[in-house]
């Protein structure tokens, strides 16, 4: 098994072996690119903020406001962090001011749009559900019905990008 499979550890063996067969046969990148032929055009942080906020307004209008959405080059993919949600509450006099920030791994700046959407949905779900529990994944699936497939595909995207870098 190649070290690239680390991105899909924990998935069923039959899926992992199918991916490994495509990698070994040199067909993985072309197969992935046929499924997702182009990347999104959400390149600036302003565009990302607007994109995230539109999804938030559609599904989570009443949740705390979004303060920031950025592409972050410091997110380390090997630690299974594709995006991060941070919540900071500060006391200003008699009131508490909270800030919700979403950070997306920079590699997803060039990903297909459905994969970016899945990451955004995942991080937005943390506004309501802090833990990865049943309610969290139900919320993710409410906002993105193909959530679980797209989560797997996002990991395949990482494999694809790494293969392209080493070719």
Domain ranges of the chain: 41-155
For residues 119-131, average pLDDT: 92
CB 156 within 8 A of CB 32: yes
Fold of 41-155: Zincin-like (3.30.2010)
Whether 134 has a pLDDT exceeding 70, the answer reads: yes
pTM of the model: 0.88
Q: Give the CA-trace dihedral at 58, 71, 76, 99, to 10 degrees.
A: -60
pLDDT tens per residue, range 69-122? 999 888 765 455 566 656 566 676 787 667 788 989 898 999 999 999 999 999
- Given the DSSP bridges, would you call strands 83-92 and 95-105 parallel, antiparallel or unpaired? antiparallel
- Given the DSSP bridges, would you call strands 95-105 and 66-72 parallel, antiparallel or unpaired? parallel
Q: Please give the structure tokens belonging to residue 113.
A: 């749009």
């Amino acid at each position: 098994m190649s070290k690239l499979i680390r991105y899909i550890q924990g998935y069923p063996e039959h899926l992992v072996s199918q991916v490994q067969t495509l990698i070994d046969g040199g067909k993985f990148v072309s197969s992935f690119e046929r499924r997702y032929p182009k990347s999104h055009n959400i390149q600036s942080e302003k565009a990302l903020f607007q994109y995230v906020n539109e999804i938030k307004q559609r599904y989570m209008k009443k949740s705390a406001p979004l303060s920031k959405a950025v592409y972050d080059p410091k997110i380390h993919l090997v630690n299974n962090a594709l995006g991060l949600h941070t919540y900071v509450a500060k006391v200003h006099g008699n009131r508490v001011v909270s800030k919700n920030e979403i950070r997306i791994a920079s590699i997803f700046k060039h990903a297909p749009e459905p994969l970016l959407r899945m990451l955004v949905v995942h991080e937005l779900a943390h506004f309501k559900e802090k833990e990865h529990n049943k309610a969290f994944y139900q919320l993710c699936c409410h906002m993105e019905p193909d959530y679980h497939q797209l989560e797997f595909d996002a990991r395949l995207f990482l494999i694809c990008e790494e293969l392209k870098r080493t070719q």
